[in-house]
Each structure stands twice: as structure tokens, then as C-alpha cells.
Chain A
Amino acid sequence: MAVEPILELRDVHTSYGAIKALKGVSLTVRPGEIVTIIGANGAGKSTTLMAICGIIGLQQGEIYYNGEPIHGQDADLLPPKGLCQVPEGRRIFPRLTVEENLEMGAFFRRDTKAIQQDMAHVFDLFPVLEDRRTQKGGTLSGGEQQMLAIGRALMSRPKLLLLDEPSLGLAPMIVQKIFEIIATINQDGTTILLVEQNANIALQSAQRGYVLETGRITMEDDARKLLDNPRIREAYLGEV
């Protein structure tokens, strides 16, 4: 019998008005894993993550987190349970300082001491942020903002971290660095569900992968096998 999944989606449907965005998405994430969802623009990847976080309501289907149904729960109850998202496009708070952004990540927590420790830990992971701690978030570079967004999510001590396109708009060097840190976070015991356009790097760092096409999961396999799959290579890795 396999380990109890930390996250399970069963036949999830959502829509924006008349547009059906997800048409039956099922997936599981087990503790300790890095799982990735790859797919083209508009496939519904971000929608999936927003549905998990309770920002978008479901039309049908169920979502379980640690065996507990979380569909229909208010979004603000999830971070205290260890489920946190780094949204697409970073979405840091531009007019708050770096430090205040990080404090917002720990908003629901009251343990001031531990929050200070966690902030020190984030500064260990991203030393640039420490140099910029009194600078406003909006004045950071794209790469620094991505680091801040990840750091902010880490401040909630997540057990399951949802990452939406952390490589978006970043230079290859920075992407490399971000993914190294994602691996470190995972080794420290955080499960990761990673959404990416950059299928190559996502599949290299993940253990398993799902392929999402127009609101449906069309493939599910070990990341290695997906990397070797000729269809994936053609469609998502740009090979003919």
C-alpha cells in the first residue's frame, strides 16, 4: 500500500463564466515529492493551483489535503494548514518593504521568535534579500522579486508548496539558481507541486510529471520517462 497522498484532486471541473477551464483534472502528490504539471499557454495550469488554494470555486470534483476535503473552504484557512502558493507573476506587495513582504507570509502566525528565525533562514537561502530588506518590493529586479515571492511563502512554513512558473521571464542563470533552491527546499522536507512552461528544467528537477492540455490531464508518468517520450519532446521541448 502506497503512502497516503498529501494532495489529491479528483475529477475537478471549474469554469470562468461560460468558459470551461478545467474539465476533469485528477492528480495526486505524495509527501516529499516534487511533482510538476506541464502544459501549453491556457491549458489551465494556473487555474488548477488557484482551485487548490480556494481562490476559484469548483463546479464538480473534490480536493483532499492530507486526507481532509478542502474544496469549498475559505482560502485564508489553508496557509495555517501548511498549504501555500507562490502565484504566477510573483505578485509580491510592491509598496511594502522586503521585510514587510516576508512578514506578510507569516501573517497568521503569532510565534514572533520563530518568525525571526524563519526570516533569517530565508535570508540564508537568498542573501540578496537581506541586502534589500528595507527596499520596497516593487523596486526589486524580476529575479529578486521571484526570490522574495518564494521567501514569503516559506515564511508560512509550508508542508506543500505550490509554485506557478518560477522561471517566468528570468535569465537562464537565475532560473538555474532558483531551481537549485527549490531542490534545497524540497530536501528540507517540503513537498512541491511545480507548474512550468519550461518543461525541460521542470522535468529534470521533478520525480513525476503530469501533462495538462486544454483542461484535461493527458499524460502522467515518471519525469525521466516523460523527458524521453518522443511526443513530449516534440510538443514541449521544441524538438522535431
Chain B
Amino acid sequence: MLWLLGLLWPLMGIHADGTLSFGKAFTVWLYVLAGTIVIVALVILHKQGLLTWAGAPLKMLRAPAAATTARIPTWIWIAIAAAAAFVFPQFADRYGQDVAINVLVYVCLGLGLNIVVGLAGMLDLGYIAFYGVGAYTYALLSVYYQLSFWLSLPVAACTACIAGCIIGYPTLRMRGDYLAIVTLGFGEIVRIILNNWMQLTNGPNGVLGIKAPGLYLPDWSGGFSFEHLYLKKLHYLYYVILLLAIFTILAVRRLNISRIGRAWEAIREDETAAELMGVNTYLLKLLAYAMGAIFAGLAGAFFAARMRFVSPESFTFLESATVLAMVVLGGMGSIPGIILGALALIVLPEMFREFELYRMLCLGGAMVLMMLFRPGGFITAKRLGRRSEDKEG
């Protein structure tokens, strides 16, 4: 507690513009102290069982609530979530749609990184590089060859995959900490290449004039023909990324329950033991890396199409760290957990916007609390032992 107060002193006192004023710190101190005393008092009361009278009706309420929640099958939850996601732009303003698009982009990234970190257990700190490769692929194809977004998507996935294999080939022989450092290095190398290859990428100035995704709509006025439409409106873009996100979710789910997914988990648990059981660990690790890269590439292509501008600045280490935080925060290996993690890490900073300078501090605090109370993440991955549980009825 003293430590916290000691920490708050300079934090509250030193302003971003360099002036110092410690008066405000005292009021904040008082609030914090008062809050702590209340909480401590509550905890003590609770320990002595004095709060049971207050807890009992709550518990009574909770039991039937939990029972009804359990009775509703999972697919209804999924349907509700999908429906909510689908109608969302109808109710949200521009700002809301913007945030939602961001969330969905990070959902794709988080799910992709989850294959590498959550399933195969390799700590990858340079993941955003593949996002960058995907983004630049579409950016350059669009600007130089006027290739449409939909055709570029698979190309972006391919180039990201190839980049993944190129980076993965030498690095994946390493384990643990070394792998993390090497991926970090490669991530930076990709960014620096994008930054310095002036002829191709226009360096730090970025690539301008990228086309938005297009769509052919049947046009009934004056006979039957197709009209080409650029989806520049935000809510159209929202549906594009929603489509991508759903595709990613389905693909990752399939991978999760496949033989390959099981082998990845075995590698994460004990690489040598997996090898002794006949798993080609090197190939499967490379596959995990390439798969993760593919999803990042897809998300990257969308990012370029949406911003219609890319520059190396968007692909810094901080982005890699954010995606990693989502995966860890949401619960490694769990798809709904990662979706929630992405939601939390994008929406929370938006909500903390009022706190301005202390935004990152609030976010950091929230994450520390989170890890203390739910170390497995929001939604701890349910082991996919479904088949065995089914049998037991």
C-alpha cells in the first residue's frame, strides 16, 4: 500500500508538460486510502461470516441463473453473438463502427497468433511482421497493378505464409527464450526493410492511393448488368472484416480439433516426448508458424484496404505486444476468450480516453488485476476432450 502511494506521488505530480504540482496528489491519496479501508473492512467482515445475510439472497439468485445459463446450448450463444455482430452497424455511429472494425482486425490477429503461442507453445514476438507483409502486399498490388482486393487476399496470405516459412526455417530450431528473441529481431528486420526500401515501399512516407475493396452488384436499371462499387462506407468495411473474422474463427476451430491441433498441443507440452511419439516436430512447428502468418496476412490486406494508406509505423513491436497481450489476457487456446481479449484491449483504452495521460496506467492496472484473479485468462481454454466426455454421457 505504501508502495502504491509512493508510486502515485510522482505519477500524479509530474505533468506531461513538465510542470510539477503535488497538491492534487494528496486528494488522490485520500481517495485511495478511503477506498482501501472500505475494501479491507468488507473483506474482514466477509471472512468473519458477517456478510452471509447479504450474500445469501445473492447466492439464491445466482443458482437458478447459472442453471438456466447452462441449459441454453452453446450454439444459441453463438447465434446471439453472430446476430449482434451482424446488426451492430445499424445502431452504432461512425466512431462505434470504427472501434468495432479495429476489434475484428485484432480478433483475426489474436486467433492467428494463438495458433503459434497458445497451441504450439512458441513465444513469437515478431508476429506483426506478417500483418505488415499482408498489408504491403495488397498495397503494392493495388497501386501498381490495380489488382482487386478479393484477388489480392489469397496473394497476401501466400506472401505472408512464404515470409513465415523464410523466417521460421532457421529460427524454429531454437527453443523458448531464444526463439522469442530471434522472432523479435526478425519482426524488426521486416519493419526496417519496409522503411528503407525506398523504390518499392516509398519508405517511411508509406504507400498512398490504395483502393477499397470492390463489389459487383447486379444493376437492374436499363437491362441486366453489373455495377462495380467500391466499399468505402465504413459499415460495408465492417461486413468485410466480419466475414474475414468469421472465416478465421471457423478455420482456427477446425485446426483446433484436428490431429494437427492435437500434435501442436503435444509439442507445447513436451517437445521431446512428442517426437518420441512419432510427431515431426520441426515440420509441425513450421506449419503452425505459417498458419499464424496466413491469418495475419489476411488481416493485413484488410488493414491496407481500409486505411487506403500503409506505412511502416503501423507495424512496430508495440503492436506485436498488444496482440500477444490479447491472447494471454483472453485465455490462451480459447477462441471466445481471445475474442473477449481483443474486445477488452481495444474498447477499454477507448473508455479510458477521459483519463488521457493515465490511460496506459489504467490499462496496465486492469491487466495486472486480471492476471491476479484469473491467471488462465477471461475464458480458460476448455480442453477439447469433448469426444471422451460425450461418451460418458
Contact = CB atoms under 8 A, between A and B. Distances in A.
B275 A134 contact: no
A235 interface: no
A151 interface: no
A94 interface: yes
A75 B265 contact: no
Interface string A157-189: 000000000000000000000000000000000
Interface string A40-64: 0000000000000101000000000
Interface of B: 259, 262-263, 265-266, 269-270, 272-281, 383, 385, 388-389, 392
Q: Which of A85, A91, A133 is the most central at the interface, judged by chain B CB atoms within 10 Å of its CB?
A: A91
Contacts of B276: 53, 55, 75, 79, 84-85, 87, 91
24 contacts: A55-B272, A76-B275, A76-B278, A78-B278, A84-B276, A84-B277, A91-B273, A92-B273, A93-B269, A93-B273, A93-B274, A94-B269, A94-B270, A96-B266, A97-B383, A97-B388, A100-B388, A104-B262, A104-B263, A104-B274, A105-B277, A107-B277, A134-B389, A156-B277
B265 A103 contact: no
Interface centre among B278, B279, B385 (most CB of A within 10 A): B278
Contacts, number: 80
Main secondary structure of the interface of B (DSSP, over half): helix
Interface residues of A, number: 31
Contacts of B383: 95-97, 100, 136
A107 B279 contact: yes
Contacts of B280: 74, 76
A95 B265 contact: yes
Top 10 nearest A-B pairs (CB, nearest first) are: A79-B278, A93-B269, A91-B273, A108-B278, A76-B280, A97-B385, A99-B388, A75-B275, A76-B278, A104-B266
A69 interface: no
Contacts of B274: 93, 104
A85 B383 CA distance: 26
